Amino acid sequence: MLGFPANLRPMPRLSTVIRPGKSTSGRWIPALGIVLVLLQLLQLLLLLIAGQAIAGEQKAFAEPGSGPGDPASALRMGNLAYRGKNYPSALGYYSMFPQNIDCRLGIGLALHKMKKHQLARPHLLAAFAVYPANAELLAALKDINEKEIAFLEKRISKGSVSEKVSVEQQLRLETLYELNGHFLKAANMLRGWLPPRPGFNDMIRVADLLAAASSWAEAGKFYELASSQSPKPRLTNLAAVDCYISSKNLARAEVLLNWLLKQAPGIDLDLRYAALLTKKGDSAGANKIYKNLGAKYEAYSQNETNPKETLLLSVDAYLNGKYHSDAQRVLNRVGAQSRDYSVDLRLARYFFDTGNFLDAVAIYEKYPESTEMQISRGWALARLDHRKEAKRAFQAVEQKFPGHAAAKAGLFSVDNSWHWNLFLLETQMNYGDYQDKRLLSTQALKYIAQRAVSTVSHTNSNIPSLSAGNIDFNEDLLGLRFYYLFRPRYAGQLHLLHFENDDPNTDHSDVFGGRFFYFPNQYWSIDAEIDRSDYKTADADQFNLHAGYRFHRKWLADLTTVFVRVSGPWRGSRTGIQPSSAGVKAAIGFVPNGQWTFGISVWGGDRLLAVDSDGLFAYNIIDRYQAAWAFQSSYRFKPWTMAYLSLGASNFVSDLKVAANKKAGFAVYDPDQSVSSLTGGMDFSF
């Protein structure tokens, strides 16, 4: 289970500039021509429409009180031409009143569309001072900067700095990297310029850029190095602690915190200890710290003439520790005096955390200009299952601030989270000469709620081409599974299977079991499972232990052990058969991106199998499986459509053949057999 890194406490940006030094086939062609002609005709039609609109406006300008001396009229004319993509004409109208800031914005945008980037830049920058959140303006400036970045990078790559590229151009490139959000490139560039003994300003600026690039581990090292020269070493070391916690380097964060604690305790350390315990999975310990912090802030506020800010810090602590009644009590006290943005921000979070999403949305809608509020509004709408409205909320922020990380995360979540899931599988099992091929058809319907997942499945097993003398058991297996997340670290599962077939030994049989999950942190998952298979003439008890680990973000490893014991008159009638067995499975998975997944698993041991609760399958407990392998892969075409493929093979010993040989007194049959499987399917979310 992955989580997002905690936000780094903002550090003041320093104006010191580090100067660089030496230390460091043809049938489609007619159709294409027709398409191009149609596109040109469409463009001409749009220009004609725009021209007619402009002519109408010009006629209106002939009336008294309206004319060339009116900036609003020139702006309307320019906007009509701009929307009609007649950028030279738009530029002409905007240029009539260059002193008007809206016209100047139009000049910059028109010049950008005409690819006159250097001429556009000063006009766009002037407009940026007035309209810093204009989405089209920001996109134009970013595009112009990218063009200059590409030019400077190409020039630098052609020759040495001393001969062909001036110091000013290198500084310009670094500045453009920062402006366009290429923080890691900017940090690496500055690191190459560091002298052998860098000063505090040099190191803190590199640390700030690394933190902005979410390169938390490296940022923490630079903050820690800078602390030895910092005028406020405790503050700089706390920035290092924040980075180490975000980078999951919890050991180093704890060492640094303990060192700071020896110097002097404080609330600033308590906050980091609480964050550290949360990352370790000790939510109880973290909540206890937050409880104490909330009480401390309340006590401090009693001696202040204006206690509002301190009380709001108390609310934050109570909310972090999930002490919602205390948070509500303090909020009522603060809200009785005044209701402003800072109070509404906490009140909306209180409503969100307690599941009152409608009231939270009502507050978020009061602040359309607040990015933080609108991101939270998107999440609240998503929790209300208002997917379209949530998506629009995230898109509005992303349009305003292209590349906004929280908006992109929200859009990804909305596009990839669904309540219903339908999984359709077809599996062919080939036993060679041992028995006829089998075809299994599986349908599984899943419903996903906030903490619970319910699954119902059906699998039919039959023999498409039945050989003479063989029996098609024509089995139908019904499965039901219920999963519930009790707390962030604990979950439980119950499952039940019932199958009917034409075998008198297993007809109308049931399997039931339970599973307990423990998640120590975001990397590990551990679970134990126990199952009871109740056949007519036999019983099977199965116990599983499983551990999974996620590493390097894209890799997963699993280890599963299985213990099975079989009893009952049906099994006991087969002489020479061991009643118990054990096996182990190791698997590794790779998730390169949001579309592909790959997995390989191998089995070892001499094992019986009774039930697979993941796939909701039951086994016949008359075959003893040995070495096996499987390869699985999936590909997501759309957020709601995924294809699945699996290949596998296993050796097994037929205990029926073993019993027959034992009864005959010599080897009549070969008990060593193998089976291969091929599975394909589709997964639909809605």
Domain boundaries, the chain: 28-132, 420-685
Q: Which CATH architecture has domain 420-685?
A: Beta Barrel (2.40)
- Asked whether residue 653 carries a pLDDT value surpassing 90, the answer given is no
Task: With a cut of 50, say whether residue 97 has pLDDT above it.
Answer: yes
Predicted confidence (pLDDT) per residue in 257-293, tens digit: 999 999 999 999 999 999 999 988 888 999 999 999 9
Quote the CA–CA distance of 112 and 108 in Å, as a whole number. 6
Report pLDDT for 12: 31
Contact 552, 650 (CB under 8 A): no
- CA angle, 320 then 321 then 322, to 5°: 95
Q: What average pLDDT does this structure show over 136-140? A: 90
More confident residue, 159 or 226: 226
CB contact at 8 A, 360 and 380: yes
Average pLDDT over residues 661-680: 84
Task: Say what the pLDDT of residue 659 is.
Answer: 72
Residue 408 CA, distance from chain mean position: 9
pLDDT of residue 65: 39
41, pLDDT greater than 50: no
Q: Which residues of 602-638 are buried (b: 16+ CB within 10 A; e: fewer)?
A: ebebebbbbbbbebbbbbbbbbbbbebebebebebee
**For the domain bounded by 28-132, which CATH number is listed?**
1.25.40.10
Answer whether 94's CB lies under 8 Å from 78's CB.
yes
Rounded to whole angstroms, what are the CA distances from 411 to 56, 214, 407?
42, 20, 6
Q: What percent of the chain has pLDDT over 70?
A: 86
Decide which of 541 and 164 is more confident.
541
The CA–CA distances, whole Å, from 491 to 451, 516, 518 equal 9, 6, 7
Q: Which of 30-39, 385-394, 423-432, 544-553 has the lowest mean pLDDT?
A: 30-39
CA distances from 194 to 105, 177, 209, 311, 668 (A): 39, 18, 14, 44, 81
The pLDDT value recorded for residue 20 is 39
Is the pLDDT at 5 greater than 80? The verdict is no
Supply the pLDDT for residue 539: 85
Band of residue 670 on the pLDDT scale cut at 50, 70, 90: confident
What confidence score (pLDDT) does residue 219 get? 96
Quickly tell me which residue has 């190191």 as its tokens: 203
pTM: 0.61
Q: What is the pLDDT of residue 61?
A: 40
Contact 529, 546 (CB under 8 A): yes
pLDDT bucket at 13, cuts 50 / 70 / 90: very low
DSSP 574: S
Instruction: Render pLDDT for 327-372 as a digit per residue (tens, 0 to 9).
Output: 999 999 998 888 899 999 999 999 999 989 999 999 999 999 899 9
Quick: pLDDT tens for 474-512.
Answer: 889 999 999 999 987 899 999 999 988 776 666 678 899
- Under the banding of pLDDT at 50, 70 and 90, the label for residue 159 is low
Give the DSSP per-residue string, 186-220: HHHHHHHH--SS--HHHHHHHHHHHHHTT-HHHHH
Confidence of residue 28 (pLDDT cuts 50, 70, 90): very low
101 within 8 A of 120, measured Cβ to Cβ: no
Predicted confidence at residue 42, as pLDDT, reads: 47
Q: pLDDT at residue 665 above 70? A: yes
Compute the distance between CA of residue 649 and CA of residue 351 in angstroms, rounded to an integer. 53
- Within 10 Å of residue 138's Cβ, how many Cβ atoms? 18
Tokens of 510: 């049931």
DSSP state of 18: P
**What 3-state DSSP class applies to 262?**
helix
The confidence score (pLDDT) of residue 506 equals 63
Nearest to 476 by CA among 494, 462, 464: 462
Structure confidence at residue 465 (pLDDT): 87
**Mean pLDDT, to the nearest integer, of 556-560?**
95
Residue 249 CA to residue 269 CA, distance in Å, equals 17
In angstroms, the CA 251 to CA 254 distance is: 5
pLDDT in tens, 586-638: 999 999 987 899 999 999 998 877 788 888 877 767 778 889 999 999 998 88
> Which tens digit of pLDDT belongs to each residue from 287-300?
999 999 999 999 99
Average pLDDT of the chain? 84
Plot region of 116 (φ>0 → left; ψ -120 to 50 → alpha; else → beta): beta
Residues 7-18 have a mean pLDDT of: 31
Q: How far apart are CA 142 and CA 125, in angstroms?
A: 11
Select the more confidently predicted residue: 8 or 121.
Answer: 121
448/420 Cα distance (integer angstroms):
6
Averaged pLDDT for residues 661-677? 81
Model pLDDT for residues 57-81, shown as the tens digit of each residue: 444 443 433 444 688 999 999 999 9
